Amino acid sequence: MLGARESSDATTPAPRLSSLTSLRWFAAFTVFGFHLSTSPELTADPGVKRVLHVLFGSGAAGVTFFFILSGLVLTWSARPGDSPRAFWRRRAARVVPNHVVVWVGVLALLAAIGRPSPVGPGLSGLFLTQAWVPDKAYYFGGNTPAWSLSCEIAFYAVFPLLLPLLRRVPGRRLWLLAAGLPVVVALVPVVSLSMPADVAYWFVWVFPVPRALDFALGMVVAMMLKQGRWRGPGLLISGALVLACYATEPFVPDQWTWVAWMEVPFTLLIAAAASADIAGRGSWLRAPALIWLGEISFAFYLVHQPMIRFGAKVLGRHGSAPLIIGGIVGIALVTVGVSWLLYRVVERPAERRLTRRRPAVLKAH
């Protein structure tokens, strides 16, 4: 989950892609809604359960949005002559402090309520290696949403190697990659059909290797935007396509709903929003309130499930519809507040401190 803070070189900032920052919030909120819809306590009332299922039953797809966005933003903001070490330091400063604080907090809370995390999943999650283990106790253990950070860390590791290769691709052939990668994504579930159901789910949805296809697609689109080669629908059409595919996802075979069904719509929407920002066209996505929500969306994504679990336990399973709805609103507001606090107290100060240039040391000769 990334913003567009970095500049394309040391002296000339690239246009700030503020619309993408706002879209991050909507993607994070759909994931939040999805986890609301899977809470037994918050779906105890049949009416509330139906509404949550209709609104957020497909909300987990927001993770695919994040992976595509990550590849695009990192490529768009890549600095000429940047060293892999400098890039990795900035990425670690961006994601690790929040993750460690939330992860340790969740493990402490689990231990306090008598449900301590096993050592293996606990350590694996702390060091963000859990997505490589085809065991739900590992990849969904502790703070469940952190599995996607395990994928992101893998993407960061290979990005300095992928970017020079992508830059060698002739501009006129980038369209072949942009069209071909979604086809490969759609073929991944075919490979999984011969696997046991639990392994197939991990392979398509969690395993960093096939998920890197989303990241690579974002990189390709960013290169096309940089070169002025992107030709796609605008925000209105691409947004309508996203909503149509989101609404029809329940009617698609499971293996294809996990990733493939939303791949192209999300890519078109992200590219349309970026194109609008690059061209300086007006967009409601650049509203200050939405940008602020987008800025705290990474913290929101990390803390939302622990907050849902805690709030659901407080409500219990016997609440009336009005009580549950009030509880959901309360959980959302408290989660935003906690996210803002994490952003202000941990995320931004740690990022500034860890990316601060050290003064040169003069050596006597």
Residue ranges in the chain whose pLDDT is less than 50: 2-11, 359-365
Write b or e for each residue in 56-85: b if 16 or more Cβ atoms lie within 10 A of its Cβ, otherwise e: bbbbbbbbbbbbbbbbbbbbbbbeeebeee
Amino acid 316: pLDDT: 85
Q: Give the span between the Cα atoms of 48 and 63, in whole angstroms.
A: 24
pTM for the model: 0.93
Domain boundaries, the chain: 18-355
Per DSSP, the chain holds a count of helices (H) and strands (E) of: 17, 0
Amino acid 245: pLDDT: 97
Which residue, among 212, 203, 220, has the nearest Cα to 258 in the 3D structure?
A: 203
- What SS3 state is found at 248? helix
Q: Give the span between the Cα atoms of 356 and 354, in whole angstroms.
A: 6
Whether the CB-CB separation of 308 and 35 falls below 8 Å is answered with: yes
Whether the CB-CB separation of 41 and 319 falls below 8 Å is answered with: yes
pLDDT digits (tens, 9 = 90+) for 200-256: 999 999 999 999 999 999 999 999 999 999 999 999 999 999 999 999 999 999 999
Residue with tokens 């893998």: 154
| C-beta contacts of 148-151 below 8 A and 24+ residues apart | 148/63, 148/66, 148/67, 149/95, 149/99, 150/125, 150/208, 151/67, 151/206, 151/208, 151/211, 151/212
With 0-12 CB in 10 A as exposed, 13-18 as middle and 19+ as buried, what is 96? Answer: middle
pLDDT digits (tens, 9 = 90+) for 76-90: 999 888 899 999 999
